[in-house]
Amino acid sequence: MSRVDVAIPAPDGDCAATLHLPDGSGPWPAVLMYCDAGGVRETFLAMADRMSALGYATLLPNVYYRHGAYRPFDLSTAFSDPSERERLMTMARSVTAQMVAVDAGAFLGFLAERPEVAGPGVGTTGYCMGGRASLLAAAHHPERVAAAASFHGGRLAATDDPDSPFRLADRIRATVYVAAAENDASCPPDQLERLEKALAEAGVRHTIETYPAAHGFAVPDNPTYDAAADERHWSALEQLYASTLRP
């Protein structure tokens, strides 16, 4: 595997990203990976490496590029330290649904021009706020996103949110996989039921599951990481992309 540092021309400046490539000669199907609220860090670089090892050219963008250089978050203390929690939540809230939509267009355009990438269909996956971003990207770019996954994603079907992904279900053409966490205030059972109803009524092929684990289960540096749930998440991604991105 190899990593390539890239700068993607985006609506509000160049977005730093890494492109993770499998061994051997491509081209390969592409996956766009959205990080959690903690931002891009070593854990996510390793996760993108693992995705590329499955045979996918994997793009990991810095979704906080509008903030310029910032001090990386330590997830072991980010939520227990009041000042760090406020800093993290402020940055997370700064990434609006409109920003996600236009940035996704830039990311997908970048992938379309790379010689390492095969085919127009791209897979997306995301964690925490990235799970929401993954579904928003699928809704706003249905001609490009063939498969979209969300893991312990938040506010996927929040009635007080005009930009919640469930409202855009009729735009989605991708196959959708959603894995929620148990007892997750950011996406409780009523939201999952609302999302299920919206996707079904829109005719979207989808699977929604609740893992017996806490929010953050698939991100190894999260204090709530769950190894069994993490392996289950990788298995689900392998199946999803094999059925949608492979010839």
Q: What is the pLDDT of residue 168?
A: 98
Q: What is the pLDDT of residue 101?
A: 98
- pLDDT grade for 1, boundaries at 50, 70 and 90: confident
Q: What is the pLDDT of residues 211-232, one digit of tens each?
A: 999 999 999 999 999 999 999 9
Q: What is the pLDDT of residue 97?
A: 98
Checking if the pLDDT of 62 tops 90, the result is: yes
Mean pLDDT of 46-62: 98
Q: What is the pLDDT of residues 63-72, one digit of tens each?
A: 999 999 888 8
Average model confidence (pLDDT) across the chain: 97
Domains of the chain, each with CATH number or no CATH: 2-244 (3.40.50.1820)
Please name the amino acid found at residue 247.
Answer: P
User: Which tokens is 115 given?
Assistant: 């010689």
Checking if the pLDDT of 28 tops 80, the result is: yes
Residues 6 or more apart from 193 whose CB is under 8 A from it?
none
Residues above pLDDT 70, as percent of the chain: 100
Beta carbons of 132 and 149 less than 8 angstroms apart = no
Q: What is the pLDDT of residue 72?
A: 86
- pLDDT greater at residue 238 or residue 75: 238
- pLDDT grade for 247, boundaries at 50, 70 and 90: confident
- pLDDT grade for 188, boundaries at 50, 70 and 90: very high
Residues 6 or more apart from 186 whose CB is under 8 A from it?
128, 152, 153, 154, 155, 215
Checking if the pLDDT of 162 tops 90, the result is: yes
Q: What is the pLDDT of residue 197?
A: 98
Checking if the pLDDT of 74 tops 80, the result is: yes
**Among candidates 136, 132, 127, 68, which has minimal Cα distance to 102?**
136
Q: What is the pLDDT of residues 191-203, one digit of tens each?
A: 999 999 999 999 9
Q: Is the pTM of this model over 0.85?
A: yes
